[in-house]
Amino acid sequence: MQLMRRTLIGAVSATTILFGSINPSSAADSTDIRLRDAITGEHRAEAKIARNAYRNPYETLKFFGLKEDMTVLEIYAQGAWYTEIIAPVVAGTGKYVGALPDPNVSERSQKSFDGYVAAFDANSELYGDASAAGIGPEATQPIEPGTADLVLTFRNLHNWMGAGTIEKMYEIMYNSAKPGGYLGVVEHRGNPMVKQDPKAKSGYVNEGYAIKLAEDAGWQLVAVSGINNNPMDDKDYEGRVWRLPQTLRYFGKEGFPKLAGADRQRSLAIGESDRFTHLYVKPAK
């Protein structure tokens, strides 16, 4: 495994299977039809659809093996970007649970949670029995333990590292998955030549560091993919992630001001961040 890990330090240009095999849905099955329809559906705002070019939802979710009969748990689904895609795919045949910060922690969390739930209630025909759950100090199990076929999280590792909760979050995800269930992770890829900051203040996480976090929690790496690579992202200064689309702001400056002039044009030319895409499995035994 050590030799394999060394190959992950740089960007991966194609899918590489490292453990066993993955069984994505057939390109012609009904999951595929549902997925394509959801990605460009009228329920999604134009601004969200525009980000498909950077986030590659079709290729990413196919890589993770999404199927319409799965129980899917998305951890920290704020903004509902992936919720609006995944929940309709499994509606009526599977189950979607979107986990957000515990609404009991703050007024802001409560407002975000209520708005998220309201979207389900307002469009139950599209989302089926999709539901929301809170994660926090007093809410550590967003779904019945051992029932999720697929657990997903997108660009959250750096946040959890900064908050000092990364080990706990991996524990929650591991306990939520059934034996043989999968974990899909997308995260901003750090420069392997720069030692990882345990707090990930830059917003970037080194790929090897992320793999170790997952393996320490019990997950086994199945495959890595270059779906979300962006070699234009040079990561050459503090706060690069937040200077890129869609945030386009100066991280660390008072007021978190928006980029302007040449800085803004440079960030727009780069596009969204360089990201690694990993698939893990919870051992069946």
Q: Tokens for 88?
A: 């309709």
Percentage helix, strand, coil for the chain under 3-state DSSP, each rounded to 5:
35, 20, 45
263 found inside a domain: no
State the CATH number of the domain containing residue 220: 3.40.50.150
The predicted model scores a pTM of 0.91
Q: Each residue's pLDDT tens digit in the chain (285 positions)? A: 333 332 343 444 456 666 554 554 444 489 999 999 999 999 999 999 999 999 999 999 999 999 999 999 999 999 999 999 999 999 999 999 999 999 999 999 999 999 999 999 999 999 999 999 999 888 899 999 999 999 999 999 999 999 999 999 999 999 999 999 999 999 999 999 999 999 999 999 999 999 999 999 999 999 999 999 999 999 877 778 999 999 999 987 888 899 999 999 999 999 999 999 999 999 997
Parallel/antiparallel/unpaired status of strands 177-188 and 275-281: antiparallel
Q: Which domain covers residue 222, as residue numbers?
A: 2-232+277-281
CB-count burial class (<10 Å; 0-12, 13-18, 19+) for 236:
exposed
DSSP state of 259: P
256 found inside a domain: no
Q: What residue ranges in the chain does DSSP mark as E strands? A: 16-17, 71-75, 95-101, 131-135, 148-154, 177-188, 220-225, 275-281
137 found inside a domain: yes
Per the structure, the count of domains in the chain is 1
